[in-house]
C-alpha cells in the first residue's frame, strides 16, 4: 500500500455529495430571526470557503537528539530469582532493573519506569497539581520536540508511551517491539533528562477539565469521584477531584517547581516483562540509566509528609446531582487496613466477594431493586493503615432509605450469620481460575509483582505463594475478619441522588 493509494481511496469516497452535519452538546443556539439549524449550516458553509494550508514536512525533526551517555554503568548486583523467573539488576546510582521474560505475547514487551513520590507528595494547598502535571507532560513531547514532532520522529516504530502521576510514584509506561529496545531506552532517557512543558498543553488540559467537570456534577459516579472519594479519606485533598477554581489557580511554574526535583531522585525503578532479549535490556538500561546523576532525598520535594489518612467512621454524606435520570448511588464503606499484610489482604478480598454474593442474592434476586450490586476491598499501598471495604448499589431514588436498611442488615449478617463452606467455595473457585489466568499475562508481572519492589522486595516472593495461599484459606479466618471490619463502628454511608430541582 502506498500513500497515493490511500489518497485516491479517500478522494473517491469523499466525492459523494451527501453530508450529515451533527452538533451535540449543551450549548444553547438561539439566533435572532433564524433557527439553530440555519446557524449551523451557515458556519459549515463558511468553513468550506476557508483555504486549507498545505502541511509542510518538518525536516528539522531529529530524534534522538541528546548526546549519547559516555559509558555503561557498573552493575552493583545481579540476582536471578528462580521461583518466579525474575532477574533483578542494580546499578551504582541506585537504579533498579526488574526483568521477566515470557512468551505470553510474541513481538511485544511491556515496561514501566517508576520514580519520585507521585500524588502522595502533592502539596495540600495545591489540589489538582498531580492531575494537571500528568495532563501537561502527556501533551508536551520533550524539551526540543513538540508532541506532534515526537510522534513524527517515532512514526513506524512499535513503541507506545504515556505518563501517569500514580498514588505513590510517577510512571512512564507502554509497550515496545523487542527490535526497538535501544530506541525505547533513548526515548525514556530523553523524557527523564529533557522533559517537555508546553504552554499549549496546559491550556488544552484545562479546557478538557472544564468539560469533564460538568460531567462529574451531572452523574452519581462523577460526584463520587469529585467529593465522595475525599470524604472517605477524611477530606484529604489528594483524593477526589479539584474544583474549577482550584484547577484554574495552577500554572506552569507550579508544575515545574513540583515535578522537576523528582526526576533526579535515586529511587528510580525500571520493570520490563514479555518477549525480550534480557542482555539487550540490561545493556540499554546500563547505558542510559545506570549513570544518571540521581540523588537520595529523605523528604518529599515540597517538604511535606502526610502519611496518615483518617477514615470517617460513623460518617454520613448526602450529595445531589443535576440530572433527570432517577438513579441514586449508595456506598456503604468500612475502614479496613493497608496492603502490606498480604495474607490479610488476600482474605479481605475473599470477604468482599462473599459480601458481594449476599448483596446479589438479597438486593438483586429477592428484591429486584438493582441489577449489579457489588463489594470490593481497596487497601492502600501508599498510606499506612488505610483501606476501604465498599458495598455499592445503584437504585431508584425513592428506594434509598429501604436499601440502606437492607445493606446494613446484610453487613450485620456477615458477623451474626456464620459464613458457610459453600459460600467460601463459591468465591474461591473463580479466584483460583483468575490467578491461573493472570499469571500468564505480562501486565500482572509488571504491575502487581515487579513495580514497587525497590521499596518492597517481598512483592516478588508473594507471586510465588499467591496460589498456595489462596488455597490455604479457611472459614475461621474470613469469619474473624468479618467480625473485625464489617461492624457499624467502622461504617460510613454516602448517598448521591438527583436533586429535587432536576425532577
DSSP code, position 124 = T
Cα–Cα dist 96/271, whole Å: 8
Residue 62: inside a domain:
no
Q: How sure is the predictor about 502, in pLDDT bands with cuts at 50, 70 and 90?
A: low
- 460 sits in which H/E element: helix 458-471
Q: How sure is the predictor about 242, in pLDDT bands with cuts at 50, 70 and 90?
A: very high
Q: How far apart are the first and last CA of the chain?
A: 56
- Same domain for 321 and 463, yes or no, is yes
Whether residue 304 is predicted with pLDDT greater than 70 in this model: the reply is no
Residue 367: inside a domain:
yes
What is the number of other CB atoms lying within 10 angstroms of the CB of residue 310? 12
- Same domain for 321 and 404, yes or no, is yes
Whether residue 58 is predicted with pLDDT greater than 70 in this model: the reply is no
Structural domain harbouring 350 = 316-498
- Same domain for 367 and 456, yes or no, is yes
Number of structural domains (the chain) is 3
- Same domain for 402 and 269, yes or no, is no
Residue 356 in grid coordinates = 458481594
> Under a CB-based contact definition with an 8 Å cutoff, are residues 199 and 255 in contact?
no
Residue 238, pLDDT score:
94
Cα–Cα dist 104/123, whole Å: 41
Whether residue 286 is predicted with pLDDT greater than 70 in this model: the reply is yes
Q: How sure is the predictor about 32, in pLDDT bands with cuts at 50, 70 and 90?
A: confident
The mean of the pLDDT values for the chain is 93
CATH code for the domain of 274: 3.30.830.10
Residue 141: inside a domain:
yes
Cα–Cα dist 311/493, whole Å: 12
- Same domain for 83 and 209, yes or no, is yes
Whether residue 305 is predicted with pLDDT greater than 70 in this model: the reply is no
- Same domain for 40 and 83, yes or no, is no
pTM of the model: 0.87
The order of strands in the sheet holding 491-498 is 316-321, 491-498, 328-335, 387-395, 374-379
* Residue finishing a domain among 288, 303, 336: 288
**pLDDT tens-digit series, residues 320-367:** 999 889 999 999 999 999 999 999 999 999 999 999 999 999 999 889
Query: Closest Cα partner for 402 from 289, 495, 274, 297?
Result: 495
Whether residue 503 is predicted with pLDDT greater than 70 in this model: the reply is no
What is the number of other CB atoms lying within 10 angstroms of the CB of residue 455? 13
- Same domain for 7 and 120, yes or no, is no
Amino acid at each position: 500500500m502506498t500513500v497515493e493509494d490511500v489518497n485516491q481511496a479517500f478522494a473517491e469516497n469523499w466525492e459523494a455529495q451527501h453530508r450529515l452535519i451533527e452538533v451535540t452538546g449543551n450549548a444553547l443556539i438561539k439566533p435572532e430571526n433564524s433557527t439553530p439549524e440555519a446557524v449551523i449550516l451557515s458556519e459549515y458553509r463558511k468553513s468550506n470557503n476557508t483555504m486549507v494550508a498545505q502541511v509542510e514536512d518538518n525536516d528539522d525533526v531529529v530524534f534522538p537528539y541528546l548526546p549519547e551517555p559516555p559509558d555503561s554503568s557498573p552493575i552493583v548486583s545481579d540476582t536471578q530469582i528462580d521461583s518466579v523467573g525474575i532477574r533483578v539488576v542494580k546499578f551504582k546510582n541506585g537504579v533498579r532493573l526488574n526483568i521477566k521474560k515470557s512468551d505470553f505475547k510474541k513481538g511485544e514487551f511491556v515496561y514501566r519506569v517508576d520514580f519520585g513520590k507521585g500524588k502522595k507528595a502533592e502539596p495540600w494547598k495545591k489540589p489538582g497539581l498531580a492531575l494537571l502535571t500528568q495532563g501537561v507532560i502527556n501533551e508536551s513531547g520533550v524539551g526540543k520536540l513538540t508532541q506532534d514532532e515526537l510522534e513524527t520522529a517515532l512514526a513506524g516504530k512499535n513503541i507506545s508511551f504515556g505518563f501517569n502521576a500514580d498514588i505513590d510514584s510517577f510512571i512512564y509506561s507502554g509497550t515496545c517491539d523487542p527490535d526497538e529496545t535501544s530506541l525505547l531506552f533513548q526515548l525514556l532517557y530523553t523524557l527523564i533528562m529533557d522533559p517537555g512543558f508546553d504552554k499549549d498543553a496546559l491550556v488544552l488540559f484545562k479546557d478538557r477539565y472544564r468539560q469533564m467537570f460538568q460531567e462529574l456534577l451531572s452523574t452519581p459516579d462523577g460526584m463520587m469521584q469529585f467529593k465522595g472519594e475525599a470524604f472517605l479519606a477524611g477530606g484529604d485533598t489528594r483524593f477526589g477531584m479539584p474544583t474549577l477554581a482550584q484547577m484554574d489557580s495552577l500554572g506552569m511554574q507550579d508544575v515545574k517547581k513540583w515535578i522537576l526535583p523528582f526526576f533526579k531522585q535515586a529511587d528510580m525503578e525500571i520493570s520490563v516483562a514479555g518477549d525480550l532479549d534480557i542482555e539487550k535490556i540490561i545493556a540499554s538500561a546500563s547505558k542510559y540509566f545506570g549513570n544518571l546523576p540521581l540523588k537520595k532525598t529523605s523528604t518529599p520535594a515540597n517538604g511535606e509528609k502526610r502519611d496518615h489518612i483518617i477514615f470517617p467512621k460513623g460518617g454520613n454524606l448526602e450529595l445531589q446531582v443535576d440530572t433527570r435520570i432517577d438513579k441514586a448511588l449508595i456506598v456503604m464503606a468500612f475502614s479496613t487496613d493497608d496492603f502490606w499484610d498480604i495474607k490479610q489482604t488476600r482474605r479481605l478480598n475473599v470477604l468482599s466477594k462473599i459480601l458481594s454474593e449476599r448483596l446479589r442474592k438479597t438486593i438483586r434476586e429477592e428484591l429486584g431493586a438493582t441489577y449489579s450490586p457489588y463489594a470490593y476491598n481497596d487497601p492502600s499501598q501508599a498510606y499506612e493503615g488505610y483501606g476501604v471495604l465498599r458495598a455499592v448499589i445503584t437504585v431508584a431514588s425513592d428506594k434509598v432509605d429501604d436499601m440502606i436498611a437492607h445493606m446494613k442488615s446484610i453487613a450485620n449478617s456477615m458477623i451474626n450469620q456464620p459464613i458457610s463452606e459453600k459460600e467460601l467455595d463459591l468465591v474461591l473457585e473463580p479466584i483460583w481460575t483468575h490467578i491461573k489466568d493472570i499469571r500468564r499475562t505480562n501486565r500482572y508481572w509488571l504491575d502487581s509483582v515487579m513495580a514497587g519492589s525497590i521499596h518492597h522486595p517481598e512483592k516478588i516472593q508473594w507471586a510465588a505463594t499467591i496460589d498456595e495461599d489462596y488455597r490455604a484459606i479457611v472459614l475461621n479466618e474470613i469469619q474473624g475478619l468479618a467480625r473485625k471490619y464489617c461492624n457499624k463502628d467502622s461504617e460510613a454511608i454516602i448517598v448521591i441522588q438527583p436533586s429535587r430541582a432536576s425532577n
